[in-house]
Structure 1
Amino acid sequence: MDRREMLKNLAILPVGGSLMSMSPLMASPDKNVAKGPLALDEDIYKSIGVVPIINCRGTFTIIGGSIERPEVHAAMAAASKNFVQYDELAFAIGERLSEITKAEFGIVTAGCAAAMKHGTAACVTGGNPEKLLRIPDLSGLDKTEVIIPRHSRNVYDHAVRNIGITVVEVDSMEELEKAINPKTAMIYLLANRSSSTGQPMSVEAIAKVAKKQSIPIMVDAAAENLSIPVVHFERGADMVAYSGGKAMCGPQCAGLLLGRKDLMLSAWQASSPHHGPGRDNKVGKEEMLGMLAAVEAWTTRDHEKEWDRWMEWLNLIAEKATKIKGVTHEITLPDGLNNRAPGLIVSWDPTQLNITGEEVAELFGRSEPRIAIGSGGKDGLTSINVTPSQMQDGEAKVVAKRLHDTLSKKRSTPDTSMAAAASDISGRWNVEMTFFSSKSTHHMMLEQDGNWLNGTHQSDFAEQDLYGTIEGDTIKIRSHFKKPGDSVVYMFTGKLKNGQISGEVFMGEYLTAQFTAKKWESKQRKQKISVPGGPPLAT
């Protein structure tokens, strides 16, 4: 999709929202859902006004991750009936995890991010409690730096940064070798294509250098299938962090850290219930045993049968959708351990069916039966995509019917004309941002070409390009703040009235803000300027 096409899509977004409801208080697409006492049955969510979702996206935390396995429920229920000393429990679980996974030891954490945080703390402190209690102020400590290849920078490395370390970013093996010094605590790697076997900065290549300097390597394998023995240890890693609530279908709020026993004991020391920087990452006895049950179950699950069921669901959806003239499909297969599930892409010409994949995904997400699906497009076609790993029995028929009904519906060609701009808003604008509990001043420099807007957005800590539209008095602007490990998308929707623009800002996972923009008017100063003929004679 080229830039102009993106602008068109921005222009036709509804004023009230895009990929999510613009109001954070609108938790449900149905305003009429009854709210009352909590119902402890299948209507538990609807009883408080929240409409559940058929999950065709996979293990995204923001929609619930995964459905916990029956063994996990049973373990958590059993664990809730007694008290236990947590260190004794952790050490027993660690030994059992070692038996199952062939790792030296393991601990259960409050999610994969907590596993990364505790693993980093272990490398910084070495199990010394006085060093632990200094975090995040690492002044005076000998290990204060973590090396991260650029290909592994991501929004989750906040868990590493939370310890207070200094990130040293490298982009080649030569840079990595130069970066290693006595302050290096650890090397962090994301399990992705760039760190895979055969790549210039693979785990193996980095391990050859790190081992010589006794630098631990931690691999973030959050969304991967658990391999036994763990493939990353065979490649040279010292610690591997997993999400409990993704492929393993354990407790959504649990994670798993496997690795060298000395590092695991230091990581457990940094974890709750022990006081210090990890006390806020509490994991309960129920989650600890639920996670162990998920690992146990992983070794006995019929993975081939699960795969066959997923394929059956995808084929059912594809078969019904492709009965519509012009609709095609493709089954995609994973080539690694990450998000290891087949996928379905259903494609069509948007000029023939008069609807785009993005519009279908938005419709499905905002009305019932509520379905979370992905969207995309290429080569002039638009598409939706389905990931079946967290779908439940009976849902494929619901998805297939709704997709068929939606795509087969007769629609007139959408009117893509744009109302003339009510005004020329070129120039500099001061933007007052009203967040949930604070205010901030941003600035925009706008250039207008008919309905199209371009320019720059100066947010709190950076300047980024913006683009958008003005139709009548309705203005929509998009900018994207990003730096290694961080990203915020700003989507402004507002009305021009009496020389100012007011409206709402959609910020993706960071929800919404309000804004009011006023044009900056420079003061007219008519005064000649006298330039000295030489250096100053006084200062």
Structure 2
Amino acid sequence: MPAGDWGDIYKELGAVPVINATGSVTMLGGSTPIPEVREAMAQADGAYIPLMELQEAAGAAIARMANVPAAYITSGAGSALMLATAAAMAGDDDDRIQQLPNTEGMKNEILIQTRQRYWYDRCLELAGAKLVMFGSEGQTTREDLESAIGPNTAAVHYYAVEQEYDPDALSLEDTIAIAHARDVLVTVDAAGQIYPLENFGKYVRMGADFQCIAAKYMGAPQSTGLALGSDEMIRKIGLQAFASYEGRRVRGVGRPQKVDRQEMVGAVAAVRAWMTTNHEDRLADVERRTRTIFSAVDGVAGLKADLMDNVIGHQPYGLNIRVDSAVAGFDVYELRDRLKEGDPPIWTRVRDGEDCITIHMFGLNPGEDRIVGERIAALFRK
């Protein structure tokens, strides 16, 4: 069991705290701010500051560290996606900024490969944009994009996942070349592409006009994200955001997506810490904790555990757990449910289309790796 005061602040409210064996997921809180971030946020409490000025200064600091032209702090990566589509459609025209999400008279189509549709592309539509697919389920060619670009195309969106190379998708290099030849913007969702460090901002350096990053993956508050991009694109993103709504008195669609001053300096501190941390030590610690769970479940009848050796992105290592229901007497979904019903509850998940529970170390506190491994093993030995 965790320490005696574990989760008491939630229990006092009548809510049930859980052990997070799923990873950095929004529905469980997303992140645990690192000490450098908590200290920076505490220092920010001591004074007020005009937030348009802070956004500019904080963005400039992040841009320098990421080696990109410009950056802007947003209310999560999803907010960055929405603001980017608003910028692509309305630009710096204040009348159009205030007209959104009504896009009449604007280019309002965001192109996306059929093969790259994903759960969070919904964020691209929130400012009023229309998603238009190109290519097929099987493959995307240069000709598919060339024929899809039309008079209403505002941008082409690309979903970057370095861990899962797709040879049948149109590459980002080709996407940028074709789109820019037609004076069309390219936006990239790279929310988790923060390691190796050369991937941090890589897509902007390749020529994309914008990419997003979820700052929670670096130990910033869950509600912070980064928009990285060209000077022009980031300037226009700032015009759509909440600080501009108040500071310029122009009513953009980004007003509900507020970021406080403490979170802004926390995001800067998180990037600074990420860029200077010893990642070999970080990865070694994650691998050690992964093996703690693996050692507890390896060889248990009815259970098969496979170690993952990926180190790219925000959630390295981890393990996949499969269930032989003929031996165990239950399937992987019941295992997930039994873990959730325990005391304390352990949250895991089975992704759509998969037959395993994937466990990551990101959300586990010290010692919880052992608890997770022992709990799983015990369920199979009953």
Q: TM above 0.5, one fold?
A: yes
Q: CA deviation at 1:327?
A: 4.1
Aligned residue in 2 for 1:165: 129
Structure 1 residues 325, 144: closer, same or farther in 2, change over 3 A?
Answer: closer
How many angstroms apart in 2 are the aligned matches of 1:302 and 1:358?
Answer: 37
Structure 1 residues 394, 193: closer, same or farther in 2, change over 3 A?
Answer: closer
Instruction: List aligned pairs for 1:45-84, cutoff 5 A.
Output: 45-84=10-49
Q: What amino acid maps onto 1:75 in structure 2?
A: A
How many angstroms apart in 2 are the aligned matches of 1:47 and 1:281?
Answer: 29
Instruction: List aligned pairs for 1:144-155, cutoff 5 A.
Output: 144-155=108-119
1:324 to 292, 300, 310: 300
1:184 to 153, 159, 175: 153
Q: Does 2:170 correspond to 1:204?
A: no
Instruction: List aligned pairs for 1:14-413, cutoff 5 A.
Output: 42-141=7-106, 143-171=107-135, 172=140, 173-192=142-161, 199-225=168-194, 227-228=197-198, 230-245=201-216, 247-273=217-243, 274=245, 275-322=251-298, 324-325=300-301, 327-334=303-310, 336-337=312-313, 339-375=314-350, 383-409=356-382
Please list the CA deviations of residues 52-94 of structure 1 after superposition, one character each: whole Å capped at 9, or x if unmatched. 1111111110111121111111111111221101111111112
How many angstroms apart in 1 are the aligned matches of 2:344 and 2:109?
Answer: 49
How many angstroms apart in 2 are the aligned matches of 1:41 and 1:385?
Answer: 24
Supply the RMSD in Å over aligned alpha carbons: 2.5
Instruction: Point out the structure with max Rg over C-alpha.
Output: 1
How many angstroms apart in 2 are the aligned matches of 1:50 and 1:76?
Answer: 26
Q: What amino acid maps onto 1:365 in structure 2?
A: K
Unaligned stretches of 5+ residues in structure 2? 246-250
How many angstroms apart in 2 are the aligned matches of 1:375 and 1:204?
Answer: 33
Unaligned stretches of 5+ residues in structure 1? 1-39, 410-539
Q: CA deviation at 1:185?
A: 1.4
Which one has a larger percent strand, Structure 1 or Structure 2?
1
Maintained 8 Å contact 1:151/1:194 = no
Structure 1 residues 220, 98: closer, same or farther in 2, change over 3 A?
Answer: same
Q: CA deviation at 1:345?
A: 2.4
How many angstroms apart in 1 are the aligned matches of 2:171 and 2:75?
Answer: 28
Between 312-321 and 110-119, the greater mean CA deviation after superposition: 312-321
Structure 1 residues 97, 385: closer, same or farther in 2, change over 3 A?
Answer: closer
Q: CA deviation at 1:397?
A: 1.6
Q: Secondary structure at the match of 1:44?
A: helix
Deviation beyond 4 Å, 4+ runs, structure 1 = 193-200, 375-379
Figure out how many residues of one structure are paired with residues of the other and give that number.
Answer: 365
Which one has a larger percent helix, Structure 1 or Structure 2?
2
Between 210-219 and 259-268, the greater mean CA deviation after superposition: 210-219
- Provide the TM-score with structure 1 as the length reference: 0.64
How many angstroms apart in 2 are the aligned matches of 1:377 and 1:131?
Answer: 39
How many angstroms apart in 2 are the aligned matches of 1:117 and 1:325?
Answer: 48
Q: What amino acid maps onto 1:205 in structure 2?
A: D
Q: CA deviation at 1:166?
A: 2.5
Maintained 8 Å contact 1:357/1:376 = no
Aligned residue in 1 for 2:248: none
How many angstroms apart in 1 are the aligned matches of 2:295 and 2:130?
Answer: 53
Q: CA deviation at 1:302?
A: 2.2
Structure 1 residues 148, 391: closer, same or farther in 2, change over 3 A?
Answer: same
Structure 1 residues 238, 377: closer, same or farther in 2, change over 3 A?
Answer: closer
How many angstroms apart in 1 are the aligned matches of 2:176 and 2:299?
Answer: 52
Between 320-329 and 190-199, the greater mean CA deviation after superposition: 190-199
Structure 1 residues 75, 188: closer, same or farther in 2, change over 3 A?
Answer: same
Q: Secondary structure at the match of 2:336?
A: helix
Structure 1 residues 239, 253: closer, same or farther in 2, change over 3 A?
Answer: same
Q: CA deviation at 1:376?
A: 7.9
Q: CA deviation at 1:266?
A: 0.7
Structure 1 residues 97, 352: closer, same or farther in 2, change over 3 A?
Answer: same
Q: What amino acid maps onto 1:238 in structure 2?
A: D
Please list the CA deviations of residues 488-509 of structure 1 after superposition, one character each: whole Å capped at 9, or x if unmatched. xxxxxxxxxxxxxxxxxxxxxx
Q: CA deviation at 1:375?
A: 4.3
Q: CA deviation at 1:230?
A: 2.1
- Provide the TM-score with structure 2 as the length reference: 0.88
Q: CA deviation at 1:134?
A: 0.8
Q: CA deviation at 1:204?
A: 0.7
State the structure with bigger RCO (CA 8 A, min sep 6), 1 or 2: 2
Aligned residue in 2 for 1:524: none
Q: CA deviation at 1:377?
A: 12
How many angstroms apart in 2 are the aligned matches of 1:199 and 1:350?
Answer: 35
Structure 1 residues 277, 313: closer, same or farther in 2, change over 3 A?
Answer: same
How many angstroms apart in 2 are the aligned matches of 1:377 and 1:156?
Answer: 15
Maintained 8 Å contact 2:302/2:325 = no
